Amino acid sequence: MAGAGKPAAWTAFPMLKIRMGGESRERRMVTIVPQGIVAGSVDAYSNNAEDARGHRQLPLEMAGARLDKPESGGFHWLAAREEQTGEVRVASTVQFFSDRGGKNPAAMFMQQKHELEIIPQPYPREHSRYRANEDWKFLVRFNSKPLANQKVLMETMNGTRAELVSDARGVIMVRIPDDFKAEEPKKTAGGHDHGRRSSDFVLATEHAEGGKNYLTAFNASYGTDAFYQRSLAMGLGFTLLGMIGAVPLLRQRKDAKPVATEATKDGDA
Amino acid sequence: MLKTIFPTLTRFRFAVQVLMLFVTVYGGALLGTYTVDRISQALPSLACAFDKQTGDHCILIVTQHQLHHRIGEALVKAQEITYKVFIPTLISVGVFFSFFFFLNKAFCGWVCPMGTVQEVIYRIGRRLGRPLKRFAPENVGMVRPVKWLMLLVLVLGLPLLAGMGVADNEFGDPYCQVCPSRIATTLLTADTEQIALRTSTGVNFFLGALGNALFGFVIIAALAVRLPFCRICPLLSWNALFQRLSPMQLVKKQHDKCAKCGVCEKACPMDIHEIGQEHGRKAFHEDCTLCGRCVEYCPDDDVIQIRFFGIPLFKSSRDYYKQRVKLETPEGLPKNKVIWLTQAKENRNG
C-alpha cells in the first residue's frame, strides 16, 4: 500500500489526507490516504445514519481508501484507527460532498466513535472553510465526557506549532494561524479551488486511562486570511464612485411639480 | 384582526419581506449553522451564498458552478455528453421549480432580500422628498433587454466558456462578482469581506470594481428610482422563463376605463405600462414581481386579480382603492409625515 502509514513530512501526528476524485477527478469520489498511522480500513460515517451506507468501512487499496458520494451525500466523518498493546491511535477528518436537503450533521459529529475525540464545533459548511486569522471551537472529550484542562497541540504544514488548553467545558478555541509565506509560490489545487492557496493543520491530544495511552488527531485544510489579496479601501472607493454616479437622479428640478399634487388628482379618479 | 394589523396588501407584503430578509440573510445564525444545506440551494431570489449566515442561497451560483465545473469541462474533454453530465443541473432546476411553482414571480416581490433593501431605501427617499424618476413607455424598452444579456452572458455564457478553457478561470462565477446582493447581504451581517475588492488578478479586479460601483449606484438610485437593480437582474429573466408554468398568475380583464385611467401604471414599481394598456397574458409582463400594487390601486372591482389555481387571492376593489389612496399615492408617497428637505431649506431662507 504505497503511501499508507508513512507520516507526512511536516508532522509526526497521524493524519488522513484527502485527494479529490479518481482517475478522472470525478467530483463524486475522493481517495483517503492515512499518514503516520497503520490501519486496515477507514471508517466513514455520513450525516444520514438511517441510510444503509450511513457507516461504511472502506478498505485500503494501493492508492488509499475510496469514498464515493452515496445517495445521501453531504458531510462524512472519516477515521482510521491503529491499536497496539497499550496504545490506541486515531486519525480523523471531515469530507463534504455537495448535497441538497441533507440532514444537519451536528448529531453525527457528536455521536461517539472512539474513546478520545476532537470534534469541531461546528465544522465549516459549504461555501465556507477554515481560514487564517479565524477562531474556531473544538470539543475534546473522552468516552463522551468533556476533558477540561486538556493539552492540545496544533501543527501546520507551514510550520506553526502551538499549544492550547481546553476550558472547563472541554472546549478549545483555535486561532487558525496566518503563516503563509509571502514569497511562497502559489500552491493551487487545480481548477476545483480556483487557485486559492491552501495548507493543512492537525490538532492532537493524548490521554491515558485504564492502562492504555490514547492519542487522537483531527486534521483539515485551511486557506489564507479573508482579506488576502483584497483591498477594503479600493472597494469603498469604487462603491463611492457608483454612489456619486447616482447623485444626479436625486436632484429636484426647480420647475418640477411635487408628486403629491398629481396623486391628489389620482385620488379623485 | 389580520386586517387591523395589516390594513393593506403592501403592509402585509412588507412584513413578509422583513421576515424573509431575516431568513435569507441571518437564517443560518437563527436556525442553525447548516440550514443552507438543508433548504434548497436553488432559491428563486438573490439570497447570497457569500453571506456566511445565510439560510439559503440563489440558484444562479449553482448554475454558474455547474456550467463551469461540469458541463464546460465535460465538453472540452470531449467526454461523451450523457444525461449524467446534466443531472446535477437538472436537479438544481427541479428544486428551483418546486419552490417557484407555488409563488411564481412573488419570489422577487416578497422574498428577495435585495428587493427588500431597495424598497426600504425608496421609502426613505419618499420621506426625504426626493424626486421620483420613472421610465416612460418609449424608454423602458431600452432597459428591458439588459436582464437577458446578464443572464445569457454572465450567468450562462462566461462560466461555460471558463469551463471549456476558452475564458480565464476567474470567469467561473462572473455574475456573483457583480451582484449587489453579495455586498448588501454580507454588509447586513457586519461582514466587510465582500465589499473589499479582490486584487489578485486583472479580471477579479475589473469584475469586483464593476460590482462595487453597481452596488453604490443602486443604493443611491433607489432613493429616487423604484427597484433600480431588479430591472436588470438576471434572476428576473430566469424566473420569466417559467412564469407561465406556475398556477400563481396575475390576471387582468379587459376594461373600457383602463385607457383613460392609468393609475395601475403609476403604482407599478417596475414601470410596466402594459398593465394599464393591455389585458390577459400581455398584462402579466416578464418584468412583473407580483408585488400586487397594481391590484391595490385599480379603482374598479375585479379588473386585476392575483390568482392561484384560478382562485382569486387578492382582487381590485373600488372600496379598497379609496382607502388605499388616503394612505399613500400610487407612486409610494405617504400622505403624512413627509420630511421635505427642500421645503425645510426654503423655510430657513425665508
User: Residues B73-109: pLDDT tens digits?
Assistant: 777 776 666 666 677 778 888 888 888 899 999 999 9
ipTM score of complex: 0.89
| Per-window interface: B 15-34 vs A, CB < 8 A | 28, 32-34
Q: Which residue has the higher pLDDT, A73 or A61?
A: A61
How far is residue B60's CA from residue B58's CA, in Å, rounded to a whole number? 6
Q: What pairs with residue B205 in β-bridges?
A: none
Compute the nearest-CA separation of B39 from chain A (Å).
Answer: 6
Nearest Cα residue to A41 out of A94, A1, A84, A8:
A1
Query: How much of chain A, in percent, has pLDDT values that exceed 70?
Result: 80
pLDDT attached to residue B47: 86
How far is residue B323's CA from residue B341's CA, in Å, rounded to a whole number? 28
Interface test with A, best of B92, B193, B197 (most A CBs within 10 A): B197
Residues in chain B closer than 8 A to A99 (CB atoms): 37
pLDDT attached to residue A255: 52
Contact A234/B131, CB-based, under 8 Å?
no
CB-based contact B175:B232 (threshold 8 Å) = no
Contact B193/A230, CB-based, under 8 Å?
yes
Report pLDDT digits (tens) over A71-125.
Answer: 556 889 999 999 999 999 999 999 988 766 567 788 889 999 999 999 999 999 8
CB-based contact B303:B258 (threshold 8 Å) = yes
Contact A101/B50, CB-based, under 8 Å?
no
pLDDT attached to residue A125: 83
In this complex, is the C-beta atom of B178 within 8 Å of any C-beta atom belonging to chain A? no
Q: Which of A27, A249, A266 sits opposite B133 (nearest CB)?
A: A249
pLDDT at A261 over 70: no
pLDDT at B308 over 70: yes
Average pLDDT, integer, range A222-226: 94
pLDDT attached to residue B339: 65
**pTM to 2 decimal places:** 0.85
pLDDT attached to residue A260: 42
Report pLDDT digits (tens) over B182-197.
Answer: 999 999 999 999 999 9
pLDDT attached to residue A6: 74
Average pLDDT, integer, range A213-230: 95
Which of B1-10, B121-130, B188-197, B285-294 has the lowest average pLDDT?
Answer: B1-10
Helices B113-127 & B9-31 angle (0-180, nearest 10)? 130
Q: Which residue has the higher pLDDT, B43 or B109?
A: B109
Average pLDDT, integer, range B113-117: 96
Average pLDDT, integer, range A118-145: 93
DSSP 8-state secondary structure symbol assigned to residue A172:
E
Contact A234/B209, CB-based, under 8 Å?
yes
Nearest Cα residue to A29 out of A98, A113, A93, A126:
A98
pLDDT attached to residue A188: 44
pLDDT attached to residue B81: 62
Average pLDDT, integer, range B137-144: 90
3 state DSSP class of A68: strand
- At A184, the pLDDT band (50, 70, 90 cuts) reads low
Which of A37-46, A177-186, B54-63, B250-259 has the lowest average pLDDT?
Answer: A177-186
In this complex, is the C-beta atom of B83 within 8 Å of any C-beta atom belonging to chain A? no
DSSP string covering B298-349, please? --STTSEEEEETTEEEEE--HHHHHHHHHHB-TTS-BSSS---HHHHHHHHT
